[in-house]
A and B are shown apart, each in its own frame.
Chain A
Amino acid sequence: MTNINGKTYAMTAITPMKSWKTPILRVFFFLLGRIKPLQAKLVNLSFIHFARWVVVKRRGFPRVSDAQPEENLHYDYLLFFSNFNGTWNQYIDAFADVLADGLDLVWRWSEKFPRSRPVSAFKRYIALVQFDTDYYYTAYPRATTNDVKAAHRVCAALEDLGKSGRDMSPADFNRAYLQFVIRVQKDLGATGVGPIGT
């Protein structure tokens, strides 16, 4: 399944928007970028490595040579790219459960978007506008974004211990080591192969 590499799923979707609605969407994104609490939910869901929205205006499709025919489009297009952990169903369920309002604010400007709840209609819409990936690469296929963050925390803790513990007595080190283990004890999950469809 080329949409998945390791534990990450590549979702690509394209939706049409009436041109006059595009600036409204841009304003929303501007606010999202500036008002951190709006992003908090996204961060707390913690299953997206990277995601982006790209507006391609109707005259914005690249034209690079005369041999290439000119585009003649009515709509602007909203491209969506997500790199997430978990199954397709899980991903959409989670958004519909906790971020329905935010999703609606992004996609309500796209034609024929049903609301994100109830979720079944939303899933049908996404399936309609989703492209399958022809090639997907990840530098760390066995790591989810949770694993990446945990790994960096462990690294930082280890470095601190390594520096401070260098010259300690065994007794002192024993105590420092216990503090170290307590510090990293939630971040030691293995990074093996994930379940099917994940």
Chain B
Amino acid sequence: MAKLNAADIQGFAMRGYTFPVARFVFLEIVDAPSGQALLRRVLDQVTTAERWDVKPDSTLNIAFTYQGLVRLGLPDATLLSFPVEFVQGMKARAEVLEDTGVSAPEKWEPAWRTGGVHGWVGIYAESSEVLQRRCKILDDLLAETGGAQVLHTQDASLLSDGGGKYCAKEHFGYTDGFGNPDFDGADRKSQPGQGKLTADGQWAPLATGEFLLGYADEAGELPVAPVPHLLAKNGTFMVYRKLHQNVATFREYLDEHGSKYAGGKEKLAAKFVGRWPDGTPLELSPERPDPSLVNDPARNTKFTYGSDPEGTRCPIGSHIRRAHPRDAFGFNGQLVNRRRIMRRGLPYGRYAQPGEPVTDAEEHGVIFMVLNASIFRQFEFVQQQWIQYGNDSHQGTDRDLLLGKHDHGGRFMIQGDTDPANPPYMCTGLRNFVELRGGEYFFMPSLTALALIATDAVDPR
């Protein structure tokens, strides 16, 4: 098992922070000299993946777009060695990702439409006050060095449960945050079900190289990475997407079909995703949610689909079965191991409690971030082939109910059986429940790489 150099890896790449509030600051770098000067100062601020004896009150991490790396003055030969999809940027990949129609770049919010983002700074904090303080430190560095301008910022925070406390729900009412992949050297408690399946049905960590550059991946080689090696090692690629949620439309849809579906509204909501709104996996508890199961990390993501080939417990097209098929394609899950994505995310906007009036236009959704060694092979593949398409799961061109593009209606089939509370049911007339408001592809360098960039010391071969 690889012992990773935690001091060199940015903390955001290794583990999800459990802070309740965050601000994402999007920068435009002024020029190479001042940008490098800024980076030299910011280096001290960057949170690494080292274990905390005392949990800090905030964290800071940084990543760059291709254009940002250009502006920072990296050599041409290095720039040319970056993967094509990163060089093009997410906007140019709209056709591949099917970010078209309501999610098309022309429809993105103005800040993302104009683009020109060079850098992302992610600041997490334990409270708004702390967040302000940490952001002020960043602002001061920006002012002192003149290295970058702030293009725009995005705030995000855990939702309130209505009783003054934070909860792990997102705006459609689902408890989120299960099933992040486990990889070699991750140095955190892993849960069965997070990694890959072994020949004898156990769960093992995935190869480090699926999530960090410079390490062997599941294909038994070092993943494609920019040169020089030192620039890439311990770094990773990040996808950032601001996903607006049409909460009113979703609730209407759930009401409409929940009254027609014999299993009831809550079960219908569970069938959409593959977990009950509280997070209980349908595969383990198809009849009802089970708090004791959800709260047990040794069980809440430990399941396979092998004993449910008909999809009567967890529908074949449900969200989690699409995004992480586990053993559903046979071959003991081997076809899935190179398609895993590490998700970080936080909701943004005010949570409308169930029953509270809400409109689609309200600013709320999720800031969805993905970390992977290869944007093309991992995130883009899952999005293009498993979310916006269904052939691998034998569902034709049916798309994911939650995230899929449903411009012309669309169908989601809930497989069932003769149990009157679990009938087959076809959800027709799907709407666009989620819309993309903007985003980009970033490279999140290691601390060493940041220092190389900051001192203009990148040497291509």
Decide if A and B touch, CB cutoff 8 A.
Answer: yes
A188 touches B96 (CB 8 A): no
A117 touches B219 (CB 8 A): yes
B396 touches A185 (CB 8 A): no
A191 touches B396 (CB 8 A): yes
Chain A, range 108-144, C-beta contacts under 8 Å to B: 117-120, 144
* A4 interface residue per 8 A CB criterion: no
B96 touches A190 (CB 8 A): no
Q: Which of B219, B376, B394 contacts A119 (CB 8 A)?
A: B219
The 8 closest A-B pairs by CB, nearest first: A189-B396, A118-B221, A189-B395, A192-B397, A98-B331, A185-B415, A181-B424, A185-B424
* B265 interface residue per 8 A CB criterion: no
B397 touches A194 (CB 8 A): yes
Contact digits for A59-78, partner B, Cβ 8 Å, 1 yes 0 no: 00000000000000000000
Chain B residues with CB below 8 A from A179, complex form: 418
B391 touches A144 (CB 8 A): yes
Chain A residues with CB below 8 A from B316, complex form: 186
Inter-chain CA distance A54–B409, complex, in Å, is 45
User: Which candidate, A13-21, A30-38, A88-96, A162-170, is the interface stretch facing chain B?
Assistant: A88-96
Chain A residues with CB below 8 A from B457, complex form: none
A197 touches B377 (CB 8 A): no
Excluding A46-B394, A120-B219, A146-B394, 13 further A-B contacts by CB distance (< 8 Å) are A93-B219, A94-B335, A117-B219, A117-B220, A118-B221, A150-B396, A178-B418, A181-B424, A185-B415, A185-B424, A186-B311, A190-B410, A196-B95
* B130 interface residue per 8 A CB criterion: no
A189 touches B415 (CB 8 A): no
Distance from A192 Cβ to chain B, minimum over Cβ atoms (Å)? 4
* B237 interface residue per 8 A CB criterion: no
A188 touches B411 (CB 8 A): yes
Could you tell me which A residues sit within 8 Å of B by CB distance? 7, 41, 44, 46-47, 85-87, 89-90, 93-94, 96-98, 117-120, 144, 146-147, 150, 178-179, 181-182, 185-198
Q: Which of A86, A118, A181, A186 contacts B310 (CB 8 A)?
A: A186
Inter-chain CA distance A177–B418, complex, in Å, is 11
Distance from B406 Cβ to chain A, minimum over Cβ atoms (Å)? 11
Distance from A117 Cβ to chain B, minimum over Cβ atoms (Å)? 6
Chain B, range 274-297, C-beta contacts under 8 Å to A: none
Chain A residues with CB below 8 A from B388, complex form: 195
* B426 interface residue per 8 A CB criterion: yes
Could you tell me which B residues sit within 8 Å of A by CB distance? 95-96, 98, 218-221, 224, 310-311, 316, 330-331, 334-335, 337-338, 376-377, 381, 384-385, 388-392, 394-398, 410-411, 413, 415-418, 423-424, 426
Please list 28 pairs of residues, one from A and one from B, whose beta carbons are closer than 8 Å in the complex, sorted by A's number: A41-B331, A46-B394, A86-B391, A87-B385, A89-B376, A90-B381, A90-B385, A93-B338, A97-B331, A97-B335, A98-B334, A118-B219, A118-B221, A119-B221, A144-B391, A146-B394, A146-B396, A178-B418, A178-B424, A182-B417, A185-B424, A186-B310, A188-B413, A189-B397, A191-B396, A195-B96, A196-B95, A197-B96
Chain A residues with CB below 8 A from B338, complex form: 93, 97
| Given known A196-B96, A197-B96, contact A189–B416 (CB-CB < 8 A) | no
Chain A residues with CB below 8 A from B384, complex form: 195-196
Most central of B218, B381, B413 by chain A CB within 10 Å: B413
Chain A residues with CB below 8 A from B411, complex form: 188, 190
Most central of B376, B377, B390 by chain A CB within 10 Å: B390
Inter-chain CA distance A188–B411, complex, in Å, is 9
A186 touches B418 (CB 8 A): no
Inter-chain CA distance A189–B417, complex, in Å, is 18
B388 closest partner in A (C-beta):
A195
Inter-chain CA distance A126–B30, complex, in Å, is 44
Inter-chain CA distance A47–B394, complex, in Å, is 10
Distance from B216 Cβ to chain A, minimum over Cβ atoms (Å)? 9
A189 touches B390 (CB 8 A): yes
| Given known A189-B395, A193-B397, A194-B397, contact A182–B418 (CB-CB < 8 A) | yes
